[in-house]
Structure 1
Amino acid sequence: MREHHVRSADGTRVLAWQSGSDGPVVLLCPGLGTIPEAWPALLLPDSGVRVLSWYHRGTLGTDRPADESRITLDDHVADALAVLADAGVDRCVVMGWSMGVMVATELATRHPEKVSGLLLAAGVPGDLFGAMLGVLGVPRPVGRALGLGFAKLMGGISPLVDLVLHNVPVNRVTATLLQHSGFMLPGASDPDEVAKAVRRFVGQDADWYVRLALAVADVPQRDLTGVGVPVTVLAGRYDVLADPEQAVAAVACLPHARTRVVPTSHFIPLEAPGVVVEELAELVRRVAAVERARSDTLTRGSRPRA
């Protein structure tokens, strides 16, 4: 994996990363504050794709913007465009996980020429907090209120949160406990892989993390009717952060969407890494077929009539 800085539209220095694998390019819109280790299967040489991604503003090596209000959905989309431009990629498959689903679908809606396909994992295209606790039968307005209230509470006591998280040992034992907590479930990943994914995550600034989350809290549900590329949705059956029913319903209007509900929590990349690779490979094949058909149609249309 290689990391390097790129400049976003407002001048913010964003730390981008890319895998060393060969294959079609895939842009990964990350979950909030997550790291490459959260996607162990995509970092392997045989993943079949070359992944481009970045770290969110103010986290893990990416600078905070000079204007600290520049952490809206617009700014995340601008960072995605900067990563693509730096890599010289005009169009590719785009993935999103958790909050990254909002970024991926917004990119596809605003810049359809950049997106050839979408894989949306454990997330919804809008109303981020409204998707919380739905799997437990909590009504959407109540789930939203509880989610927002919890986030604001964490922001209010962020020094205490930092004191705890920055000093908790992250090892195989604590990773195993986390996997059996209900928030995360035992899955295909070894506890050591989970520990790698968690270790840098818990070292972040809790106050800034909450500010990032709250900055996209008012983004409403998005209508994806106009998305005209192949789409795959992966939803976790036991996901308390992104209701699987809402995730699937978001693409019900798309005749070309494929949905798959897997027996995981919110952490699909860690608990079902094989499914991620499998579904991504299938999506890449679907996209290639659509792109060939589109190219053939354009070629036929450009031929002079007899």
Structure 2
Amino acid sequence: MGDRHSYTTGATRLNVYVQGQGFPILGLHGHPGSGRNLSVFTNHLSKRYQTFAPDLRGYGKSHFNGNFEMNDHLNDLEALLDRFQIEKCLVLGWSLGGILAMELALRLPQRVTGLILVATAARPRGNHPAITWQDNLYTGIAALLNWIKPSWQWNIETFGKRSLFRYLIQQHTPTAYRYIAQEAVSAYLQTSPAATRALSQALQAGYNRVADLRQIECPSLVLAAAQDRHITPDSSLETARNLKNCQWQCYPDTAHLFPWEIPQQVLNDIDRWLAEHPQISQSAQ
């Protein structure tokens, strides 16, 4: 997974996964999550770029005691760019990470050369059905068995398709379940209550940055899933329509974790977009 770095800024010690050489790409994970969740992107992109995938404050190995606000993530990320002397970078964000990516572009317009926004929105809306005790039971069993024996077809058929995984993925493939076993379970267990509170408070306050998106000048790529119940494709499309220089892609028969469902298709589309916008990675570092 490349090199692991830790650095200290204020009271926070962030864990960062660094891979490759070249123009910097900052990868930001979702909730619950960790920098490791971005391996589907960083293992590929680090062949041509240098990727930085931090565990955000209160996630993964970036332990933090006490409460904090969403804005603290931005302070941490700006300090990370300074620490690694990253003058300019492309930012890739998945879900919560995409919200932070847009915030960084608004905050540091001279340093963010492009945005790749995955399953995210500037005014996030969901349509997730109510969760039953049976959902939780089947999810726990499916996750445990999948962790012990990744991609076991009997588990997928018996518990996986009846669990809450059915709202996170549509294609119950061995590849998707392998990613869930390797990266999702540990990230879920390592996400702190303080991180959950910070996100909940922002959403309850009615987070909405749609009106500010016009300030973002850099090229952006917005990728969405047609069956996403956590952040609906309609809310992602609203974001795409309000970004000036934006390409939009919505994948059928996929959900919130679609990069784990159709990784090659997503990576091919990212490569194509990067090839169409060479200026993103030509800025002097």
Give the corresponding residue for 1:86.
Answer: 83
Give the corresponding residue for 1:266.
Answer: 256
Of 52-61 and 204-213, deviating more is 204-213
- Cα separation, 1, equivalents of 2:51 and 2:177: 24
Which residue, out of 258, 272, 278, partners 1:282? 272
TM-score, normalised relative to structure 2 = 0.79
Displacement of 1:133: 0.7
8 Å Cα contact 2:17-2:53 kept in structure 1: yes
- Cα separation, 2, equivalents of 1:206 and 1:175: 28
Q: Deviations over 1:64-111 (max 9, x none)?
A: 14xx232x2211111221222222211111111101111000000111
Give the corresponding residue for 2:15.
Answer: 15
Q: Deviations over 1:149-205 (max 9, x none)?
A: x8xx99xxxxx99xx68x934232356753674222225825333311223124235
* Cα separation, partners in 2 of 1:282 and 1:89, compared to 1, 3 Å: farther
Letter in 2 for 1:6: Y
* Secondary structure at 1:113 match in 2: coil
Displacement of 1:41: 4.6
8 Å Cα contact 1:38-1:269 kept in structure 2: no
How well do the aligned residues superpose, as a CA RMSD in angstroms?
3.2
Give the corresponding residue for 1:59.
Answer: 59
Matches within 5 A, 1:113-262: 113-126=110-123, 128=124, 131-133=125-127, 168-169=144-145, 170=147, 171-172=149-150, 173=152, 174=155, 177-178=159-160, 181-183=165-167, 184-186=169-171, 189=175, 191-204=177-190, 207-217=193-203, 218=205, 220-222=207-209, 223=211, 224-262=213-251
Structure 1, unpaired ranges of 5+: 137-145, 155-159, 296-306
- Cα separation, 1, equivalents of 2:220 and 2:240: 8
TM-score, normalised relative to structure 1 = 0.74
Structure 2, unpaired ranges of 5+: none
Displacement of 1:26: 0.8
- Cα separation, 1, equivalents of 2:120 and 2:191: 23
Letter in 1 for 2:62: T
Q: Deviations over 1:273-297 (max 9, x none)?
A: 22332233234334423676x99xx
* Secondary structure at 2:234 match in 1: helix
Give the corresponding residue for 2:6.
Answer: 5
The share of aligned pairs that are identical, in percent, is 19
Letter in 1 for 2:67: S
Give the corresponding residue for 2:25.
Answer: 26
* Secondary structure at 2:113 match in 1: strand
Give the corresponding residue for 1:304.
Answer: none
8 Å Cα contact 1:242-1:266 kept in structure 2: yes
Of 182-191 and 99-108, deviating more is 182-191
Which residue, out of 48, 54, 69, partners 2:67? 69
Bigger Rg, structure 1 or 2: 1
8 Å Cα contact 2:222-2:248 kept in structure 1: yes
* Cα separation, partners in 2 of 1:48 and 1:2, compared to 1, 3 Å: same
